Amino acid sequence: MDYVQYNIQCPTEFAEIIIAFLGELPFDTFQENEQGFEAFIPSKFDTTEIESEVKRLQTNFDFKYEKKTIVHQNWNQVWESNFQPVEIEGFCGVRADFHPPFENIKHEIIINPRMAFGTGHHETTFMVMEFMKDINFKGKKVFDYGCGTGILAILAAKMGCTDIDGVDIEEPAYVNSIENAKYNSTANINYFHGTLENVPVRTYDIILANINRNVILESLPSLYERLNPGGVLYTSGFLDQDKDLVMEAHLKNGFLPHDTKQKGKWIAAKAFRRY
């Protein structure tokens, strides 16, 4: 699959907000840099309507952009030049297969992200992984909703979980999750391509939902039905300005918010199914 790269040049304080807006469109990968960030969208989705949305954002935020096509064969060169290892306090290290192994790390994950989101660099993924550090996954049923590269499901498997499902609406993410599970010898994870409707109906003890604000809000009723009583829902992918809105939606849908984390302008939350 070919992609179009939008090279966004913007002040640092605008980058996260613009990424959040673009995340509501079919952009599925972002790489931050000193000048701003690159946003990648499958070429089939790069329509005049999408570019009009980008131009509309320019009326609210001060940024410039340039576009170029990235053919499928050249994607490895793009992410290899940007992808650096990530470490979370001796708990977990994320690297590509061409990086040297970590030393003194509890869980090492090898991620070759292709065109899928989730290398541990983004604040939302990082915070959910921080939450996971304190979870006992042994004997639990886990659902990775919006799995991206499969990184969260893989970490759950490395922490002792043997009953894991994951789903992503983007086919490259679905394929990449399967590949990364094999790299990490966690091929027992069941991945599905599509939406919640494409995942067999069952309930879970833990749901990891690192997606975006709109999908979280739309999915809370269904996630409630798929979570066992007393189960835990972890959500991330929304900005601090939307925190009250998202927490209120949790309460309305039967969840009891318990804890939140913030990194930059991004929020991650932990909530229990109340009844």
Helix, strand or coil, per DSSP, at residue 85: coil
Q: Are strands 92-95 and 107-110 parallel, antiparallel or unpaired?
A: parallel
Q: How far is CA 209 from CA 148, 177, 189, 199, 216, in A?
A: 11, 15, 16, 14, 7
Please tell me whether residues 182 and 263 are part of one structural domain: yes
CATH number for the domain spanning 51: value is 3.30.70.2360
| Final residue of a structural domain among 60, 80, 100 | 80
Please tell me whether residues 249 and 124 are part of one structural domain: yes
- ∠ CA 137-144-185, nearest 5°, is 65
Please tell me whether residues 126 and 246 are part of one structural domain: yes
CATH number for the domain spanning 234: value is 3.40.50.150
**Domain count along the chain:** 2
Please tell me whether residues 151 and 205 are part of one structural domain: yes
In a domain, 109, yes or no: no
The owner of tokens 């490395």 is 158
Please tell me whether residues 131 and 238 are part of one structural domain: yes
In a domain, 108, yes or no: no
In a domain, 111, yes or no: no
Task: State residue 65's pLDDT score.
Answer: 95
In a domain, 251, yes or no: yes
Partnered with residue 183 across adjacent β-strands are none
Please tell me whether residues 74 and 193 are part of one structural domain: no
Ordered per-residue pLDDT tens for the chain, 275 residues:
788 999 999 987 788 889 888 988 888 777 777 788 888 888 899 999 999 999 999 998 989 999 998 886 565 566 666 677 889 988 999 988 888 898 889 999 998 766 555 565 678 889 999 999 999 999 999 999 999 889 999 999 999 999 999 999 888 789 889 999 999 999 889 999 999 999 999 999 999 999 888 899 999 999 999 999 999 999 998 888 899 999 999 999 999 999 999 988 889 999 999 87
pTM, rounded to two decimals = 0.78
The H-or-E segment that residue 48 falls in is: helix 48-58
Select from 141, 89, 98 the least CA-distant residue to 120.
89
Please tell me whether residues 70 and 130 are part of one structural domain: no
Q: How far is CA 109 from CA 94, 115, 150, in A?
A: 5, 18, 10
Please tell me whether residues 41 and 155 are part of one structural domain: no
Domain ranges, residue 23? 3-80
In a domain, 101, yes or no: no
Please tell me whether residues 229 and 141 are part of one structural domain: yes
The rounded distance, in Å, linking the Cα atoms of 153 and 183 is: 13
Q: How far is CA 134 from CA 37, 91, 173, 270, in A?
A: 32, 10, 27, 12
Sheet holding 266-273, edge to edge: 190-193, 163-168, 141-145, 204-210, 227-239, 266-273, 255-263
